[in-house]
Amino acid sequence: MSLADIIQANDQYHRWIEESVDRAKKDKKYQKDLEQAWQEKISALEYRSLPTELEIPLIALPHFDHPAQIARYLGEWGFPGEFPYGLSIYPKAFLIVDNQREHEEPTRIFAGLGSPEMTHERFRYIVKQQQSKRLSTAFDTNTLLGRSADNPDYFFDIGEGGVSVTTYQDVLTLYDGFFEDDVSISMTINGPSLWMTAARLQAAQERGQNLAKVRGTSQTDPCKEDDAQNELLFPLGPSIKIAMDMFEWCSLHAPLYYPINVSGYHIEQKGATPIQQAAFTLANGFVYVDEALQRGMNINTIGKRLPFFFTSGMDFEYIALLSAVRRVWAVALRDAYGADDLNAQKLKAHVQTSGRSLYEKEIQNNISRTALELFYALLNYPQALHSNSYDEPITTPTEDAVRIASDTQAILFEEMGGFKDMMAYLSDSSGRREAYHRIIHGILDYFREIDQLGGTLQAKADGFFRDEISQSSSGYDQQVHSGERRIIGVNRYSEGRKESRTVSRVEVSGEVKRKRVDDVRRFKEQRDPKKVKMGIQKLQEAASSGENVFEVTMAIVKEVTLDEWTHALQEVYGMYRRKI
Amino acid sequence: MKSNDGHDAAILVIADALKQGGIEVILGGYDLTVDKFVDAIIQEGVHFAGISSYNGGHVPFFKAVRDALKKKNYPYIHLIGGGGATLTPEDIEILEQQEGIDKIFRAGERDSVLPYVNEHFDFSVVPEEPEALLEGVKTGDELALSKLINLAEEKARLDSLIEDHRNTVHHEENKNRATSLPDQSYWEEIGGERGILKTIERYKKCLSTLDNLVRERPSRVFGITGRGGSGKSTITDELILRFFKDGRMENKKVAVISIDPSSAGSGGALLADRIGYIYATDKNWVDTRRIFIRSVASRGYGQGIARALPDIVKILKAGGYDIFIESYGIGQPDIGVTRVADQSIFVTTPDVGGAQQIEKEDMLNIPGVVVVLNKSEHRGSRHISSLLRKKVPSERLFLTTAIEHRNPGINSLYQSLTQHLN
C-alpha cells in the first residue's frame, strides 16, 4: 500500500463526513435515524453521585439542537470506543465505577540501573506501589549497542543510565519472580531486541510459564532508530527484516506479546514538532504493516499487534495529538487496508511525558510540567502512561522522584474529580477540535510530501526525515535561546534564581561494574564452546539464507550471548552507518 | 569531538558555532572508546578535544583520556567537555581541579565554547623541531607523522598568507616588493608570526630528505572524488575493510586523507568523514594499528583538495603507507586530486542528470580514471550506466551499492584496484 492510498482513504472519509452532515440537513428519514440513535445513547446513560452529592452521567455527551451536529460528532469523533476512535478506543477508559476500574490503570514506570540484581530490586519496589504489575526496563548503552559487559573498552558505561544485560542468566536474574501471567514486562530496546525478547521468552518457559500467556512488549522500531536514535546494529533493511521475523513468530507462538512498538517518542525528543512526530511515526507504522502483509499475514492480525508510543509535551498540539493519530490510523486500516476486525482498527498507545521539556534549573518545576503533560495525555485516553521523574535532567531517577512521578498519575486518576468520574468530559472541547483537525491536515500534508519523494523508505534513505527533524530541533533551540519560547525559571523569571541542586546523582560504583565483568566472564567460561560455535553457525546460516532469524535466536539464546549474537549477524549484514 | 551516545544534537550545534567562528572542527565519532578517541586526537593533530557525555560514567572516562594522552606525550591538547546536567558541579570540580581537564561547559553554556577556544588557542605551540620528527616518520610513529603533517598544514597556511600579500601588493602596483617576502610590519599585522618562518625553512629541508625514503617504499595513492552524498566515504570504508581481509596486504599500512571544504566566509570547517569510516576505525574489523586517518580542510585552495596535500602525501608515503585520498566534490572541476594520485576514482550516482551533464564531467576525461556508479539500485541507473559506457571502457566502470554489505560491485572494484598491488 502506498501513502497515496492512505491519503485517499482519509480524504474520502472526510468527504463522507461532509456528505452525511449535508444529508442530515435535508433528508428527513436520516434526521430521524440520527435522533433516534442519539436518544438511545442518552437513555442508556448511567448516572452516579459524586462525593459532593452532585449527580452526573458516566459519559459526557454534548447537547445538540440539530441532527446535522449529531452526524458531524459521530463522523469526526465517534462515541467513546467507536470508530474513528477520536475520543477513545474504550467506552469507559479510566472510570472508577463501584470502586472498580474496568481497565488496568495505565501507570508504567521506567527503571533500570547497574546490574540485573540492582534493577530487579527496584522492580520489586515499584510493583509494591501499583495495583497491576507493569515493569518497564531501561538498558545501558553497552546492552543497547550489543556489547558485552566484559568488553574492557566500555567498562565505564556498564550500568549507566540503564541495566547491563549480556547473558541469558542476566535475564533470569533481572525478571526473577516476574515470569507470571499477571505481569507485563516492557523492554526499551531496539538493535538487540530479538536477542533480548528471545531470552525473555525462553526464561518465561523455563520458569513454567506458557508462551501463550506471556504479556509484555519490546520496542524494536528500526525505522525510528534511523530517524532519531541512531542506535541500530545492522543496516536499516536487514534490521526491518529481522524485526518482522520476530513479529511473525510471536503472532503464532506468543499472541499476547507485542514485539514491535512504533515509537514517536524519540523522534520528538530528537527535536520533531508534534505534527512531525505524528506523521513520521504513522508512516513508519505503515512500513511494518506493508512488510507483514508481504509475508502473507492477515491485516486483522497485523493491526491488533502494532502498538504505538508517543510523547505528551508542553505544546498545544498535545491536547489532541493522539486522537488525531488514532483517526488517521483507523481510517487507513479500515478503508485502505480493509481491516474489518474493530480491534485491528484501534490504535493502542503508550504515552510518556516529554523528557526534552525538563530543565536542570529550578528542577522542581519539572513536577508541574510533568503533571500538565499527563493531563494533556489523559485527555486523549492512552492505554499506558509513563510520567518522567523531575530529576531526569541530571540523573537516573532517584526513588523519591520516581514515587512523585507515579503519585502524580494517581492524583490525576484517583484523587481529582474528572477522569475517574465522567468519560470524555473535555474531549470535544472547541480547543481540542481545532487542534484535532489541524493535526490531521498536517499529517496528511506530510504523507503527500513523503509519497512524492518515493515513499517512506526512499525518503529516509535520502535523509528527508532526519533533515526535517533537525531543522525543527535547531528552531526549538533558537526559540529557547531567544526567549520566544518561555521556560519558567530558566529563561523567564530566572534572575537571581538559585543554581544549587537539591538532588544528588545516582551512581554505579566501580565495584558493581567489576562484579558485572566477573559474572559475564564466568557465564562465558562455563558454557560448552562447541554448542556456542554451532549456535553462531546456525544463526549465520539462517541470516544468509533468509530464514526466520528469530526462530533460530530462540534456539540458541541460552548459550550465545548478546555480543556474540550481534557480531555474528554483523558479519552477514554489516554494521549500521550512523547518520549525522 | 566525541559523543557518548545518540544524543548528538548539542554536538552539532557547538560544532557549527565553532565552524562559523573560523575553527576547523573534526567529528571524532559516536560512542568512542578511550583508545579510538586518543587515536583520533593524535592522528588529527588537534589542539582541542571535546567530549560530550550524557549517560554517566564520564569522570573516569575523562581521566582515562587524559592519562592516555600523557602516556603518549601528546603536547598540544586542551581537553574540554560537556554533556548537560548529568555533569554535576561536584563532577566538574573533580575534573577541573584534580583530573587536569581544562574546561567543562555546563548546560546552557554552549555559547561560551567559541570564546574559550579563541582565548586559549596559542600559535606558539605549533613550531616543532622538524629534524627530530624524521626518525619517527621512518618508523611510522603516528605522533611524529601527525606533527610533521601539522607543519605541512602550517607551511601551506603561511604560503597562502604570503600569496595573498603578494596579490595585494601587486594590486598596489609595487612589483618590486611583490617578489620578496613580506616585511616585519606585515607579520606584526597578522599576528607576529615571523619566528615560525625559520621552523618552516627547516621543515622544507627535512621534507626534501624524505625523497629517498619515498623512492625506497613504493606505495599506491588512490584519489577518490565525486559530489557530496555520492557515497565516497562509504566506498572508501568498504575498500579499506577488504584491504584488511586481503591476505596479500598483511604487512601493509593504509592512510586515509579526507579533504572537506572550508567555509568561505569564516574559514572554519566541519570535517565529518571520520564518522563515516565505521569499519576502518573499529578494531573488531581491521587492525587499527596499521591505519592512519587524517582530516584536512581545503582552506580555500579549490579543485577539491588542499594546498598541503602533496606534502601530506609525501610524509605518509615516507611512513610506508598506501594512501586513499577522499577529495570533496562541490561541482566541477574538482580534479586536483588527479595530480597527486596514481589512480583516480570518480564516484557518481544515477541522479547525476542526463547526457549533457555527463559530457561536461571533466573527471571522465582523466586518462585511466576508474568510474563508480554508486547507488546503482536507484532509478535511472540503467540509463546513466549506458551513457558512462560510451565514455569509459567496461573494465574501468563499476556499478555498486555501497550501503549493502559484501556488495559484489565493491568486490570487483577492490579486485581491480589492487590487481597490481603486492
Show me where the domains of chain B are located: 2-121, 130-214, 217-417
- Does residue A563 contact residue A148 with C-beta atoms inside 8 Å? yes
B276–A360 C-beta distance less than 8 A: no
- Measure the CA–CA gap between B280 and B255, rounded to whole angstroms: 10
Instruction: Identify whether residues A271 and A400 lie together within a single domain.
Output: yes
Q: Mind listing the pLDDT tens digit for each residue in A29-87?
A: 999 999 999 999 999 999 999 999 999 999 999 999 999 999 999 999 999 999 999 99
Asked if residue A148 is part of any domain, the answer here is yes
Contact list in B for residue A473 (CB cut-off 8 A) is 9
B57: nearest CB among A157, A235, A393: A157
| Interfacial residues of B (vs A; Cβ cutoff 8 Å) | 4-6, 8-9, 12-13, 27, 30-31, 33-35, 55-58, 60-61, 64, 84-86, 88-89, 107-108, 234, 272, 275-276, 278-279, 282, 284, 403-406
Distance from CA of A567 to the nearest CA of B (A): 9
B31–A473 C-beta distance less than 8 A: no
Asked if residue A212 is part of any domain, the answer here is yes
Closest CA to A267 of A211, A342, A321: A321
Question: Which chain B residue lies closest to A233 (C-alpha atoms)?
Answer: B278
A393–B85 C-beta distance less than 8 A: yes
Q: What CA dihedral angle connects A469, A474, A477 and A481, to 10 degrees?
A: -160
B56–A235 C-beta distance less than 8 A: no
| Amino acid residing at A232 | L
Residues 6 or more apart whose CB falls under 8 angstroms from that of B194 comprise B184, B187
Contact list in B for residue A271 (CB cut-off 8 A) is 9
B403–A235 C-beta distance less than 8 A: yes
- Measure the CA–CA gap between A55 and A205, rounded to whole angstroms: 50
Asked if residue A293 is part of any domain, the answer here is yes
In chain A, residues 148-167 whose CB comes closer than 8 Å to chain B: 153-154, 156-158, 160-161
For chain A, the domain total comes to 2
Distance from CA of A7 to the nearest CA of B (A): 24
Residues in chain A: 580
Rg of the Cα atoms in chain A: 24
DSSP per position, B45-92: T-SEEEEE--SS-HHHHHHHHHHHHHHTT--S-EEEEE-GGGS-HHHH
Instruction: Identify whether residues A95 and A165 lie together within a single domain.
Output: no
Distance from CA of B85 to the nearest CA of A (A): 5
For residue A129, pLDDT over 90 is answered with no
- Does residue B197 contact residue B158 with C-beta atoms inside 8 Å? yes
- Measure the CA–CA gap between A392 and A355, rounded to whole angstroms: 7
| Amino acid residing at B294 | R
Per-residue pLDDT, averaged over A233-237, amounts to: 96
Asked if residue A499 is part of any domain, the answer here is no
| Amino acid residing at A24 | A
Distance from CA of A160 to the nearest CA of B (A): 6
| Amino acid residing at B297 | A
Asked if residue A152 is part of any domain, the answer here is yes
Query: Is ipTM strictly over 0.90?
Result: no
A394–B88 C-beta distance less than 8 A: yes
B6–A230 C-beta distance less than 8 A: yes
Express as a percent the part of chain A with pLDDT over 70. 97
Residue A131's SS3 state is coil
Q: How far apart are the first and last CA of chain B?
A: 37
The separation between CA A441 and the C-alpha centre of its own chain, rounded to angstroms, equals 23
- Does residue B259 contact residue B327 with C-beta atoms inside 8 Å? yes
Contact list in A for residue B26 (CB cut-off 8 A) is none
**Which residues make beta-bridge pairs with B326?**
B224, B258
- Which region, left, alpha or beta, applies to residue A87 given φ > 0 means left and ψ of -120 to 50 means alpha? alpha
Residue A74's SS3 state is helix
CB-based contact (8 Å) between A15 and chain B?
no
Chain B interface test: which of A269, A478, A578 (most B C-beta within 10 Å): A578
Q: Is B94 exposed, middle or buried (0-12, 13-18, 19+ CB in 10 A)?
A: middle
List strand residue ranges (DSSP E) for A119-206, in order.
133-138, 183-188
- Measure the CA–CA gap between B4 and A167, rounded to whole angstroms: 23
Question: Which chain B residue lies closest to A229 (C-alpha atoms)?
Answer: B6
Q: Mind listing the pLDDT tens digit for each residue in A540-553?
A: 999 999 999 999 99
A573–B8 C-beta distance less than 8 A: no
pLDDT of residue A229: 87
Distance from CA of B401 to the nearest CA of A (A): 13
- Measure the CA–CA gap between A537 and A558, rounded to whole angstroms: 15
Closest CA to A432 of A350, A330, A276, A317: A317
Contact list in B for residue A470 (CB cut-off 8 A) is 9, 12
Asked if residue A444 is part of any domain, the answer here is yes
- Does residue B77 contact residue B107 with C-beta atoms inside 8 Å? no
Instruction: Identify whether residues A111 and A98 lie together within a single domain.
Output: no
B55–A235 C-beta distance less than 8 A: no
Instruction: Identify whether residues A419 and A336 lie together within a single domain.
Output: yes
Question: Which chain B residue lies closest to A358 (C-alpha atoms)?
Answer: B85
- Measure the CA–CA gap between A89 and A347, rounded to whole angstroms: 8
In chain A, residues 34-53 whose CB comes closer than 8 Å to chain B: none
Asked if residue A230 is part of any domain, the answer here is no
Distances (CA, A) of A459 to A240, A451, A453, A455, B407: 16, 8, 6, 6, 22
Closest CA to B287 of B249, B244, B318: B244
Instruction: Identify whether residues A89 and A112 lie together within a single domain.
Output: no
C-alpha cell at A10: 482519509
For residue A99, pLDDT over 90 is answered with no
Q: What CA dihedral angle connects A533, A535, A537 and A538, to 10 degrees?
A: 160
Strand (E) or helix (H) holding A153: none
Instruction: Identify whether residues A113 and A186 lie together within a single domain.
Output: yes
Instruction: Identify whether residues A298 and A358 lie together within a single domain.
Output: yes
pLDDT of residue B1: 47
C-alpha cell at A142: 553497552
To the nearest 10 degrees (0 to 180), the angle between helices A3-26 and A430-452 is: 140
10 Å Cβ neighbour count for A221? 31
For residue A262, the domain's CATH number is 3.20.20.240
**Which residues make beta-bridge pairs with B48?**
B78
A140–B55 C-beta distance less than 8 A: yes
Q: Is A441 exposed, middle or buried (0-12, 13-18, 19+ CB in 10 A)?
A: middle
Residue range of the domain that includes A374? 1-103+249-452
Express as a percent the part of chain A with pLDDT over 90. 82
pLDDT of residue A19: 97
User: B351-383 burial string, b = 16+ CB within 10 Å, else e?
Assistant: ebeeeeebeebebbebeebbbbbbbbebeebee
Distance from CA of A426 to the nearest CA of B (A): 37
B404–A235 C-beta distance less than 8 A: yes
C-alpha cell at A335: 478503508
- Please report where in the chains the cell 575534573 appears, as a residue: B95
DSSP per position, B167-190: HHHHHTT-HHHHTSPP-HHHHHHT
- Asked if the bond preceding A84 is cis, omega within 30° of 0, the reply is yes
A235–B89 C-beta distance less than 8 A: no
pLDDT of residue A106: 65
Distance from CA of A153 to the nearest CA of B (A): 6
Final residue in a domain of this structure, among A452, A477, A493: A452
CB-based contact (8 Å) between A477 and chain B?
yes
C-alpha cell at B294: 587524517
- Which region, left, alpha or beta, applies to residue B347 given φ > 0 means left and ψ of -120 to 50 means alpha? beta
Q: Mind listing the pLDDT tens digit for each residue in A8-22?
A: 999 999 999 999 999
How many degrees, rounded to 5, is the angle at CA A283 between CA A279 and CA A286?
145
- Please report where in the chains the cell 512500513 appears, as a residue: A287
- Please report where in the chains the cell 435535508 appears, as a residue: A26
The domains spanning B2-121 and B217-417 adopt the same CATH topology: yes
pLDDT of residue B365: 86
The domain B217-417 is classified under which CATH number: 1.20.1070.10, 3.40.50.300, 1.20.120.530, 3.30.1490.190?
3.40.50.300
- Measure the CA–CA gap between A347 and A384, rounded to whole angstroms: 12
Per-residue pLDDT, averaged over A275-296, amounts to: 98
Q: Is A458 exposed, middle or buried (0-12, 13-18, 19+ CB in 10 A)?
A: middle
Instruction: Identify whether residues A22 and A164 lie together within a single domain.
Output: no
Contact pairs from chain A to chain B, CB under 8 Å: 88
Instruction: Identify whether residues A442 and A417 lie together within a single domain.
Output: yes
- Does residue A427 contact residue A77 with C-beta atoms inside 8 Å? yes
**Which residues make beta-bridge pairs with A133?**
A183
Rg of the Cα atoms in chain B: 22
Distances (CA, A) of B351 to B369, B378, B385, B415: 20, 8, 11, 26
Instruction: Identify whether residues A160 and A91 lie together within a single domain.
Output: no
10 Å Cβ neighbour count for A182? 10
Q: Mind listing the pLDDT tens digit for each residue in B238-271?
A: 999 999 999 999 889 999 999 999 998 899 999 9
Final residue in a domain of this structure, among A452, A484, A504: A452
Least confident piece of the model among A220-234, A313-327, B352-366? B352-366
- Measure the CA–CA gap between A558 and A562, rounded to whole angstroms: 10
pLDDT of residue B187: 58
CB-based contact (8 Å) between A362 and chain B?
no
Q: Mind listing the pLDDT tens digit for each residue in A350-363?
A: 999 999 999 988 99
- Measure the CA–CA gap between A327 and A88, rounded to whole angstroms: 10
pLDDT of residue A71: 97
B406–A154 C-beta distance less than 8 A: no
More confident position, B216 or A330: A330
Asked if residue A516 is part of any domain, the answer here is no
Q: Mind listing the pLDDT tens digit for each residue in A245-275?
A: 999 999 999 999 999 999 999 999 999 999 9
Q: Mind listing the pLDDT tens digit for each residue in A497-517?
A: 766 565 666 778 999 999 999
**Which residues make beta-bridge pairs with A49?**
A55
- Does residue A330 contact residue A346 with C-beta atoms inside 8 Å? yes
Final residue in a domain of this structure, among A406, A423, A452: A452
Instruction: Identify whether residues A348 and A448 lie together within a single domain.
Output: yes
Task: Write the DSSP symbol of residue B254.
Answer: E
Distance from CA of B19 to the nearest CA of A (A): 16
- Measure the CA–CA gap between A454 and B292, rounded to whole angstroms: 39
pLDDT of residue B4: 38
Residues 6 or more apart whose CB falls under 8 angstroms from that of A433 comprise A76, A320
- Does residue B326 contact residue B349 with C-beta atoms inside 8 Å? no
Distances (CA, A) of B133 to B82, B143, B216, B257, B319: 34, 9, 19, 20, 11
Residues 6 or more apart whose CB falls under 8 angstroms from that of A271 comprise A356, A469, A470, A472, A473, A474, A476, A477, B9
The domain B2-121 is classified under which CATH number: 3.30.1490.20, 3.40.50.720, 3.40.50.280, 3.30.70.20?
3.40.50.280
Longest dimension (CA), chain B: 67
- Measure the CA–CA gap between A305 and A333, rounded to whole angstroms: 13
Instruction: Identify whether residues A293 and A423 lie together within a single domain.
Output: yes
Residue B80's SS3 state is strand
Residues in chain B: 422
Q: Mean pLDDT score of chain A, rounded to an integer? A: 93
Q: Which residues of chain B have pLDDT under 70?
A: 1-8, 54-56, 84-85, 122-128, 169-195, 330-334, 421-422
